[in-house]
Amino acid sequence: MKTLEEIFCRQPETLNEALTLLSDEATRGVLLSGGTDLVVQWQAGAVPMPEQVIDLSAVPELKEISAQDGCLRIGACVTHAAIRNHALTREALPALVAACASIGARQIQSRGTLGGNVANASPAGDASPALLVADARVVTASLAGERCIPMNEFLLDYRKIDRHPDELILRFELTPCPQGGIERFCKIGTRGAQAISKVMGACRVVMHGKDIQHMALALGSVAATAIRLPETEKLLAGKTLCEELVDEAEACVLREVHPIADIRSTAEYRRWVSGRIVRGFLESL
């Protein structure tokens, strides 16, 4: 049985150093950001403790939030607390801010990072739906260069992401919520804090009066990865919001999701409440 102390840990201070370590199989280690997923998984025996890790927390490029070319860049090692507090994210990504503020509680938000949340690739990762409705792109990097992958393609399957062994997630690029746009986030947890989601959802909407100009909807914990709801979005986009439309949208969601039962909830409730979350979003507009 291995202990935490026996893991060999390198802490690169530049991006290049990190990528160099990753490029060589001999120095390649498990990437460690805040450790709030990894350490728990090691201790629980869900994942074997690795021989070596690369601690990314000292690489400055990974910790930046900036606005460039009309998009918002969030480094992979930016903490949920930083996203919660930063003026740029608060202004442009209210659903993501709300999602990050719902993760664990203050302690976890201060250590856990956006990159860790996405790379952990749990369907219950709270940040993913908000990233999906912001049309996020994931930028990965290796010594060979950068790749830019749309978020919905990056999430391959249950606990699988499109990352090559010599790559790390560099940053996320997000489209800000447009002027007059509305974002919502909703989390159904098991308790008031420190709750893994039973179901959570996010939406981004642009309205003109009662007319829906743009509608992006995403849910988590209802499939192997967080998902957009293309059918429901199609149903709503370009329509005038009314009671019948809300009923139709709720019914459409039920056709689009096929959740499973696990220790946190039942398949039936998850499916039903998915529709209710979307109803709640629409009724709040």
Partner 1 sequence: MTQQSDGSFRIIGRSLTRSDAEDKVRGKAQYLDDLTMPGVWYADVVRAPVPCGKLLGLHFDESFDWTQVVTVKPEDIPGENIVDMTGLDMPFLAYDRIQYQGEPLALIAAPSKALAREAVNHVRAEVEELPAIQSIQEMVERHKTGLADSLRLLEKKEIRRGDAEGVLAGAGKVLEGEYWTGFQEQLYIEPQGMAAEPMESGGVYIRGSIQCPYYVAPELMKVLNLPLEKIRVEQTVTGGAFGGKEEFPTLPGGYCALLALKAGRPVKMVYDRHEDILFTTKRHPSWTRYRTALAEDGRIAAMEVDMILDGGAYTTISPVVLYRGILHAALGYRCENVTVRGFVYASNSFPCGAFRGFGAPQAYWGLESHVEDLAEQAGLGPDEFRLKNCLQEGDITPTGQHLLTSVGTPAVLKEALRRSDFHAKLARCDQGRPGAKSWYGIGVSFFAHGAGFTGDGEAKFGSRAAMELGRLSDGRPGLTLYASSTEMGQGAKTVLAQMAAEGAGLPFDRVFYPLPDTRVVPDSGPTVASRTTMVVGNILYHAGHKMKCLLEEAAAKHCFGGASVRLEGGRFFAEGVEARPFEEVAEVLLAQGEPLRTEHQFALPPHIRWDQERFVGDAYPAYSWACNVAEVEVDPLTLQIHLRKITAVYDVGRIINPTLAIGQLQGGLVQTIGYALMETMQVRKGLYDANRLQTYIIPTALDVPEMDLQFLEYSCDELAPGAKGLGEITMNGLAPAIGNAVRRATGCRLCAIPMRPEDLYATLYQGAKD
Enumerate binding residues for ligand FAD (CB under 6 A). Answer: 30-38, 40, 56, 76, 103-104, 108, 111-113, 115-117, 119-120, 125-126, 163, 168-169, 194-196
CB of 191 vs partner 1, minimal distance in Å: 5
Q: Shortest Cβ distance from residue 61 to ligand FAD (Å)?
A: 10
Q: How far is the CB of 264 from partner 1 (least distance, A)?
A: 8
* By CB under 8 A, residue 67 contacts partner 1: no
Which residues sit opposite 68 in a β-bridge?
71
Residue 177 contacts which entry, ligand FAD, partner 1, none (Cβ below 5-8 A, type-dependent): none
Smallest distance from partner 1 to CB 283, Å: 8
Phi then psi for 17, rounded to 5 degrees?
-60, -45
188 touches partner 1 by CB under 8 A? yes
Q: Is 280 in the site for partner 1 (CB under 8 A)?
A: yes
Regarding 194 and contact with partner 1 (CB under 8 A), the answer is yes
Minimal distance in Å, beta carbon 34 to partner 1? 17
> Which partner from the list partner 1, ligand FAD, none does 252 bind, CB cut-off 5 to 8 Å by kind?
none
Q: Helix, strand, or coil here: 10?
A: strand
Per rule CB under 8 A, is residue 192 in the interface with partner 1?
Answer: yes
Indicate which of ligand FAD, partner 1, none lies near residue 242 (CB less than 5 to 8 Å, by partner kind). Answer: none
C-beta closer to partner 1: residue 61 or 248: 248
**Cα separation values, 168 from 15, 85, 87, 113, 285, Å:** 10, 25, 26, 14, 38
Q: Rg (Cα) of the chain, in Å, rounded?
A: 19
Q: CA-to-CA distance for 285 and 9, rounded, in angstroms?
A: 49
* Tokens representing residue 66 in the block: 């900036």
Strand pairing report for 30-32 and 145-150: unpaired
Q: Angle at Cα 270 formed by Cα 176 and Cα 184, nearest 5°?
A: 20
Least distance (Å) from ligand FAD to the CB of residue 85?
16
Interacting stretch for partner 1, rule CB under 8 A, among 124-132, 140-148, 187-195, 240-248?
187-195
Distance CA 31, CA 39 (A): 12
DSSP for 68-122 reads ETTEEEEETT-BHHHHHH-HHHHHH-HHHHHHHHTSS-HHHHHH-BHHHHHHHT-
Binding site for partner 1 (CB under 8 A): 1, 40, 44, 105, 188, 190-196, 263-266, 268-269, 272-273, 276-277, 279-280
